[in-house]
Amino acid sequence: MAKTSVDKQLSVYLYIPNIIGYIRVIMNIVAFALSVSNKPLFALLYFISFVCDGLDGWFARKFNQVSTFGAVLDMVTDRVSTACLLAVLSQLYRPGFIFLALLALDIASHWLQMYSTFLSGKASHKDVKDSSNWLLRAYYGNRLVMAFCCVACEVLYIILFLLSENQSGSVITVSLAALSQGSLISLPLSLALFGCVIKQAVNIIQMKTAADACVFYDMKRKEKP
């Protein structure tokens, strides 16, 4: 018996990677609800949710359950969870503007990239094979590079969250103090800083190239008779 449209729709919602996505959303809600009262548990739940971000993609390819809904759910969950953590950090450190600027860059870069992808007719915002920028191609073309940078950013934010003690601390002072304490914290913090810097550079480049793509689309449209 052929599946109805409702059955097909339901089957997509119940794809394994999409179920993992729902679990990520729930974990993030619980994590941020506990962020003030239980910082270690928040960090654990947040990091597990981030790890699941890699698992859902693996399951999607493994069981041929790749879906547009799943891709959107994955990106929205990533952006919202990172945005919430950056917003929290902006209230824990001074100057808080640093984290708000990172939040704005993250959203603007990915939104422009998604929209330019839509205009160009590409299937994924990660398709940058035709980009002239080597760093952008290296980032999206190599899963290990992208994974390192993404993990580095989240680990850096989690470390800063765990190190925060009051609402008047300087992020620079706290970071320098942590880097001078020894390899137990300085090594992962150094690696996280390095990966985060690369990712922010990619975000800036991505935002510029995506903006150029939108302008180029307008130019081509105006040239048509």
According to the model, what pLDDT value does residue 3 have?
A: 63
Domain count, the chain: 1
pLDDT of residue 223: 80
Q: What is the pLDDT of residue 1?
A: 44
Q: Confidence band (pLDDT; 50, 70, 90) for 117?
A: confident
**What CATH number does the domain containing 61 carry?**
1.20.120.1760
Whole-model pTM: value is 0.89
Q: Tens digits of per-residue pLDDT, 47-65? A: 999 999 888 888 998 899 9
Confidence of residue 145 (pLDDT cuts 50, 70, 90): very high
Answer yes or no: is pLDDT of 149 > 80.
yes
pLDDT at residue 207, as a whole number: 95
Rounded Cα–Cα distance for residues 141 and 35 (Å) = 35
List 78, 127, 130, 218, catalytic entry? 78
Q: Which residue has the higher pLDDT, 117 or 157?
A: 157
SS3 (DSSP) at 125: coil
Q: What is the spatial distance between Cα 203 and Cα 195, in angstroms, rounded to a whole number?
A: 12
| Band of residue 7 on the pLDDT scale cut at 50, 70, 90 | low
The residue with tokens 């990091």 is 47
Tokens of 44: 């654990």
Distance CA 82, CA 35 (A): 14
Is the model's pLDDT at 34 over the cut of 90?
A: yes
What range does the domain containing 142 cover? 5-223
What average pLDDT does the chain have?
90
pLDDT beyond 80 at 183: no
For residue 93, how far is the Cα from the chain centroid? Answer: 21
Gap between the Cα atoms of 56 and 23, Å rounded: 11
Report the b/e string of 97-121 with b at 16+ CB within 10 A.
Answer: eebeebbebbbbbbebbbbbbebee
More confident residue, 221 or 153: 153
Distance of CA 5 to the CA centre of its chain: 33
Q: Is 106 designated active site?
A: no
Residue 127, pLDDT > 80, answer no
Tell whether the model's pLDDT for residue 2 goes beyond 70: no
**How far is it, in rounded angstroms, from Cα 181 to Cα 204?**
32
The mean pLDDT of 122-151, rounded to a whole number, is 87
CA dist., res. 65 & res. 68, Å (int)? 10
